[in-house]
Structure 1
Amino acid sequence: MGVNPVPLLGLKADQFRHPLDRQATNNLKQFPGFDFAIRSLLGSVTEQFFYMENISSSILVGEQQLPWLHKLLLDACATLDLEVPQLYVRQNPVPNAYTMAMRGKQPFIMMHTALLDLLEPAEIQAVIAHELGHLKCEHGVYLTLANLIVLASNQLPLPWGPLVTQGLQSQMMTWVRCAEFSCDRAALLATQDPQITMSVMMKLCGGSPQLAKQLNLDAFIAQARAYDAASQTDLGGMLKEMQTAQRTHPLPVLRAKEIDRWASTAEYQNLVVKHSTIGYTKSRTTGEWWNW
């Protein structure tokens, strides 16, 4: 498992953005004052708060600090044609990673130690690339609003009435799940090996440092296909909707199945071939937070 990824020079987000992400984003834009309202709630104080929190309570990765992890970040950014954000490591027993960039400034990725303990280096790079996908796709404003609505809507004076806010919350939950599919594609483009990305899903689904090396990826992919088949019936589709409606992320088996499918398409193959053979000036792309 594992290849040597080629840099995808000139890669644009819309070239790999998942159709569900595009559709859900268009739906959110139907809410009047959407971007303005959330940008008004955020400011330099929030940005400075997170910088101070990170620099005081986490390890800043760099050439002199965990250089192997810093190289994974640099390589993923080079492959996705993206400027390098800060990368931090924080002590936490829950395997997780997330990304943030307030107003497109000081973007950073946070990785928990439990996630590093669980994954192999190539899989860690897939997680980094997934988080970079949020930056590449400029998910910033929308993910900020998702956090405010889901975590603090009762405390913040949102500029919509309660019925609109309820509808917006439903739209946001749908959107964040759809956005994850785009970022999974970014992980695949960065590693250029679908088994690496699917292996991450498998380990997040039922892995531990002790069990990780015992898990069988082929069996997990078969499990993902079985779930997909079971959800095709009327009853299965209803149960699938119930399972996912309140989740911030798609089910791991669905994410694995989607990567398995997209990796075999001409769209993916042509994208890799096209951008590995052309050169452009690197452009700046920014984004916002969310969990792996």
Structure 2
Amino acid sequence: MAVASLPSSNFTAKSSPLCFGFHKPFLPSSYANFGSLKNNRNGGIQITVCKADPPSSSSLSFRYLDADDFRHPLDKQNTLLLRTIPGLNEIGKALLGSIAEQVLVLENIGTSVLVSENQLSELHQLMVQSAEALKIEAPDLYVRQSPVPNAYTLAINGKKPFVVVHTSLIELLSRKELQAVLAHELGHLKCDHGVWLTVANFLTLGAYTIPGVGGMIAQRLEEQLFRWLRAAELTCDRAALLVVQDPKVVISVLMKLAGGCPSLADQLNVDAFLEQARSYDKASASPVGWYIRNAQTRQLSHPLPVLRAREIDEWSRSQDYKSLMQRATRTNS
């Protein structure tokens, strides 16, 4: 997923047109409904924030979990390359000044609902459980009214990070799938992606505004930044898998965000989507297909959903994943 940008038409980050991506998060809308509403026995209104999953009496816990235990090799490689760019941190700090920080923070606080033990407690519990599993402090969590299914993380200037989830995403996903989304966002924080994601978006956008050399700087950085962002997303899909422990749950999220809606969600088939992913690999195996695939991917800040589905399916079968799961223990929730 991604980070937030300033609520201005001049600060709209590029992204994949679907999930775990960035979609103008500061655009409130009355067209998305929050969960589902029903009357309770006392004549009041009860809010259900997501579709129910079978209840679980225990949660996953690692005695010790380092980010490099599950970091994708491409994430490691591209992070090292990104750190070699001269002046990147300095430019990022300049772009993420105090005014930008205040706008971003106040915009979310002022137009979203802060989740807590006393406010949307089920979502709060999902976040706390996911954070405990990944051995990270739980960030603040906000729910924001939007018709675009999305979630994103913001972390700047050493402030406490926060995660924002759109109401339409909550409507679309089951409880377990929503936990996978939260775990994905926590993966960004666990791997120190939060600030880097914010810097990457602002750097790419802000560099164009530098007179004379801005366009040249942005063009040189954009491809490398987007390559890093795509690799970071693969890492965070792994974080989601570590928490929910079921690759079909993570793949189902990707599938629903690629082509799902609440009325069709229960008819979607994960196995068929994986077969679609394999067919994409076959279709892009020719020289022309390879060229088209690379041209298509370079324009996106997130990997194609079918490729992410295949990646998470393969990692769930790997010895690295199995070894990590052997280190995990169950605790009563």
TM-score (norm 2): 0.78
- Specify the alignment match of 1:16 in structure 2: 70
Answer with 114-123 or 25-34: which moved more: 25-34
- Specify the alignment match of 2:324 in structure 1: 271
- Specify the alignment match of 1:124 in structure 2: 178
Q: 1:200, CA displacement in angstroms?
A: 0.2
The runs of 5 or more residues in structure 1 that have no matched partner are 278-292
TM superposition outliers: structure 1 runs of 4+ over 6 Å = none
1:60–1:20 distance in 2 versus 1, CA, 3 Å: same
Q: Does residue 65 of the first structure (1) align with residue 119 of the second (2)?
A: yes
Indicate the RMSD between aligned Cα atoms, in angstroms: 2.0
Deviations 1:130-173 (A, max 9, x none): 01111001013421232114434323579x76534321111111
Tell me, yes or no, if the aligned pair for 2:229 and 2:302 is still in contact at 8 Å: yes
CA distance in 1, matches of 2:232, 2:124: 25
- Specify the alignment match of 2:79 in structure 1: 25
CA distance in 1, matches of 2:296, 2:198: 24
From the two aligned structures, give the one with the greater helix fraction. Answer: 1
Q: Highest Rg: 1 or 2?
A: 2
- Specify the alignment match of 1:248 in structure 2: 301
Which amino acid counterpart does residue 74 of structure 1 have in structure 2?
A: V
Deviations 1:204-225 (A, max 9, x none): 0100011111111111111112
- Specify the alignment match of 2:221 in structure 1: 168
1:44–1:275 distance in 2 versus 1, CA, 3 Å: farther
The runs of 5 or more residues in structure 2 that have no matched partner are 1-52
Tell me, yes or no, if the aligned pair for 1:76 and 1:125 is still in contact at 8 Å: yes
1:83–1:45 distance in 2 versus 1, CA, 3 Å: same
Q: Does residue 34 of the first structure (1) align with residue 88 of the second (2)?
A: yes
Q: How many residues were matched structurally?
A: 276
Which amino acid counterpart does residue 56 of structure 1 have in structure 2?
A: G
CA distance in 2, matches of 1:250, 1:49: 29
Answer with 42-51 or 105-114: which moved more: 42-51
CA distance in 2, matches of 1:39, 1:214: 46
Larger RCO (CA within 8 A; separation ≥ 6): 1
- Specify the alignment match of 1:104 in structure 2: 158
- Specify the alignment match of 1:288 in structure 2: none
TM-score (norm 1): 0.88
Which amino acid counterpart does residue 292 of structure 2 have in structure 1?
A: L
- Percent of aligned pairs sharing the same letter: 50
Q: 1:177, CA displacement in angstroms?
A: 0.9
CA distance in 1, matches of 2:78, 2:130: 27
Tell me, yes or no, if the aligned pair for 2:153 and 2:194 is still in contact at 8 Å: no
Which amino acid counterpart does residue 267 of structure 1 have in structure 2?
A: D
CA distance in 1, matches of 2:135, 2:282: 36
